[in-house]
Amino acid sequence: MSSPKQRAAAAALAYLKPDTVLGVGTGSTVNFFIDALAAHRDRIPGAVSSSNASTERLNALGIPVLDLNAVGRLSLYVDGADEADPGLHLIKGGGAALTREKIVAACADTFVCIADASKQVSVLGRFPLPVEVIPMARIHVAEALRAMGGNPRWREGVVTDNGNDILDVHGLAITDPVALEQQINQIVGVVTVGLFAGRKADVLLIGEDQGVITIKP
């Protein structure tokens, strides 16, 4: 029997474009997608990965992992989310892979987000907003985020694939995700904010107990 996350992951296969490279995100929902993709590996030259964890899983299933710089544009990016609002703006980074995820999303023609219904919210911010920071700037960035009304907490013991720290910002009601993403991007020492608003998802596939709902903004 498949779970809602598995159903959303399987539905994303319909967006696969034969003979093109796709981008692959990170997380438990994406792991289901990678497993399902293995049966289609002969239809694609390979995938660009957004994390060391996804690279390992793709390699284990015989799906070639390609360098983004050698590929350029991607036809498709499939990734999960921690929260999605009705406009398909996302919070991502629960798995600390937000920087590479944002880079891969930026290079994709179509971004398909896969999730279960627990990720749908009317306003982003119940899930603490992850911010990847250069380690020496952690306190400086935390103070700037506090001045913006947030309550940042250091995700102690977690080091990103890029060697950086994560601050999780609690207590934000994100009514203007595009503006907040730009504002946080301006703080010196911020590598990436886990708001995917300027480049949001194009399609959201919500796995349910019985089927999958397709949402477009």
Catalytic residues: 101
166 binds ligand 5RP (CB under 6 A): no
| Minimal distance, residue 30 CB to ligand 5RP, in Å | 6
DSSP for the chain reads ---HHHHHHHHGGGG--TTS-EEE--SHHHHHHHHHHGGGGGGSS-EEESSHHHHHHHHHTTPPB--HHHH--EEEEEE--SEE-TT--EE--TTS-HHHHHHHHHTEEEEEEEEEGGGB-SSBTSSPEEEEE-GGGHHHHHHHHHHTT-EEEE-TT---TTS-EEEEEES--BS-HHHHHHHHHTSTTEEEESEE-TT--SEEEEE-SS-EEEE--
| Minimal distance, residue 19 CB to ligand 5RP, in Å | 27
Alpha carbons 180 and 114: distance in angstroms, whole number: 24
Q: Which of residues 47-106 bind ligand 5RP (CB under 6 A)?
A: 79-82, 92-98, 101
- Are the C-beta atoms of 133 and 191 separated by less than 8 Å? yes
Q: Report the relative pairing of strands 195-196 and 90-91 from DSSP bridges.
A: antiparallel
| Minimal distance, residue 114 CB to ligand 5RP, in Å | 8
> Is the Cβ of residue 94 or residue 152 nearer to ligand 5RP in the bound state?
94
Alpha carbons 198 and 161: distance in angstroms, whole number: 23
> Is the Cβ of residue 105 or residue 187 nearer to ligand 5RP in the bound state?
105
Contacting positions for ligand 5RP (CB under 6 A): 25-29, 79-82, 92-98, 101
